[in-house]
Amino acid sequence: MSNTDTNTLEILKELIGEVSNDPVNQIGLDTSFTDDLHLDSLAIVSLLVLIERTFDVRIPDNLSSQLSTVGHVVVYLEQAEKVV
């Protein structure tokens, strides 16, 4: 994992901590938002909004359902263009 990926993961952990009751130190790239963190749809939408605001990106609605793990989000964020 690159240094950028590590920084992105750490920021994501902080954001997940804002919407989840689970300890963030156990979160890894393969952590599932629904299966592992037990986030419901409202919590996932809240998390995606936090991600968009924090990373200054836009996550299209049709893509949000495909971002099911922390690793999927990290990859998306590393490839996404900043919102202008």
pTM of the model: 0.86
Picking from 73, 69, 46, the residue whose alpha carbon sits closest to that of residue 57 is: 73
Residue type, 23: P
Longest dimension (CA), the chain: 34
Q: Which residue has the tokens 């992105």?
A: 8
Q: Write out the chain's pLDDT in tens, 84 residues.
A: 555 567 999 999 999 999 998 888 889 999 999 999 999 999 999 999 999 999 999 999 899 889 999 999 999 998 886 665
Cβ atoms 77, 8 nearer than 8 A: yes
